[in-house]
């Protein structure tokens, strides 16, 4: 399914302002009301927006899997980036590349586009730094800030009620697990499916290890109840140190404050930290270089080198 940039901008406005009216969307986007009405009709047909007529045409995300995933990715990036990257036929190309590196002809066949059209879009993705040509095969760059958002888009969403989802922001998603920021943690936990559990992590869990901060919201790691991380967190009563460090990086890999937290945790708890396990987990999430870089910076300080 394809979306143009204006449709994505409109959906961003709705997903950030559930219950908004067409008149208010018109004001926020500086578009005429007839134009907004036509956009809403298009988004309704595509199944990502619903209206409540009894409330004077109030607009809401539909709560469908696609609606939920698009909401998450739009909230994870500032306005403009996602709309540009996912507009037109580009979404088809990204979905194809997300499944593995491919040549232009393979992408064109799977995305049902001409080679020339695909090549045109790939040049744009290359200039943006999201795609790289490696010996004739195009591959998504996993260290690009937008890559994590693509995981939010293409992964299977957990079944969370729309009203709870509106107060949440998913910062990272993997295979049937994700990290979410929410202002209503207890309500979020109660509404999780029976086989899914959540544990405080990242900036919401550093206090357990001696870093006293008051984050603006609660950060949760959400995964199956039988997952190793959830079981270890439940057993110890707090997020295991190795997982906490990994989650800090997954949650905000480019933030200097995050790096300062991790450096302090490594120095303070050097004797308790399982460095072998930490590197194993880092490798699993493509964070090995990040961890090795942090360790290298701390080499003159650490006793265990």
Residues 203-232 have pLDDT tens digits of 999 999 999 888 888 999 998 899 999 999
Residues of the chain with CATH 1.10.10.10: 5-76, 89-149
In terms of phi and psi (left: phi > 0; alpha: psi -120 to 50; beta: otherwise), the region of 177 is beta
Q: What local confidence, expressed as pLDDT, does residue 253 receive?
A: 78
Structure tokens at 48: 């990502």
CB under 8 A, 24+ apart: contacts of 9-12: 9/79, 9/83, 10/36, 10/39, 10/40, 10/43, 11/43, 11/48, 11/49, 11/61, 11/70, 11/71, 11/74, 12/74, 12/79, 12/82, 12/83
With contact defined as beta carbons under 8 Å apart, do 202 and 244 qualify? Answer: yes
State how far Cα 29 lies from the chain centre.
25
CATH topology of domain 5-76: Arc Repressor Mutant, subunit A (1.10.10)
Q: What local confidence, expressed as pLDDT, does residue 55 receive?
A: 56
Q: What local confidence, expressed as pLDDT, does residue 167 receive?
A: 65
Site of tokens 């699993």:
284
Please list the ranges in the chain whose pLDDT falls under 50.
305
Give residue-wise pLDDT tens across range 66-88: 887 788 788 767 778 888 888 88
Q: Which CATH number fits domain 89-149: 3.30.70.2500, 1.10.10.10, 1.20.120.50, 3.20.20.70?
A: 1.10.10.10
Q: What local confidence, expressed as pLDDT, does residue 268 receive?
A: 92
Separation of alpha carbons 75 and 243, rounded Å: 25
With contact defined as beta carbons under 8 Å apart, do 59 and 26 qualify? Answer: no
Q: What local confidence, expressed as pLDDT, does residue 301 receive?
A: 83
């Amino acid at each position: 399914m394809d979306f143009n940039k204006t449709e994505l901008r409109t959906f961003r406005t709705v997903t950030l302002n559930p219950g908004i009216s067409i008149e208010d969307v018109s004001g926020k986007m500086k578009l005429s009301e007839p134009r907004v009405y036509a956009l809403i009709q298009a988004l309704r047909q595509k199944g990502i927006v619903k209206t409540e007529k009894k409330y004077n045409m109030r607009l809401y995300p539909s709560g469908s899997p696609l609606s939920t995933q698009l909401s998450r990715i739009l909230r994870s990036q500032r306005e403009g980036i996602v709309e540009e990257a996912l507009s037109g036929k580009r979404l088809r190309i990204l979905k194809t590349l997300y499944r593995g590196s491919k040549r232009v002809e393979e992408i064109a066949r799977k995305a049902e586009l001409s080679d020339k059209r695909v090549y045109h879009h790939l040049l744009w993705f290359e200039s943006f730094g999201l795609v790289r040509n490696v010996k004739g095969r195009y591959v998504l760059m996993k260290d690009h800030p937008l890559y994590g958002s693509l995981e939010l888009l293409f992964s299977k969403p957990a079944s969370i009620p729309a009203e709870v989802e509106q107060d949440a922001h998913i910062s990272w998603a993997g295979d049937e697990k994700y990290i979410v920021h929410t202002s209503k943690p207890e309500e979020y936990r109660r509404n999780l499916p029976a086989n899914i559990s959540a544990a405080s992590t990242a900036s919401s869990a550093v206090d357990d290890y001696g870093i006293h901060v008051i984050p603006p919201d609660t950060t949760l790691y959400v995964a199956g109840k039988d997952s190793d991380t959830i079981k270890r967190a439940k057993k110890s009563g707090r997020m295991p140190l190795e997982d906490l460090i990994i989650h800090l990086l997954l949650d905000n890999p480019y933030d200097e404050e995050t790096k300062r937290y991790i450096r302090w945790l490594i120095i303070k708890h050097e004797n308790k930290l399982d460095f072998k396990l930490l590197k194993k987990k880092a490798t699993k999430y493509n964070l090995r270089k990040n961890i090795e870089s942090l360790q290298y910076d701390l080499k003159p300080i650490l006793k265990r080198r």
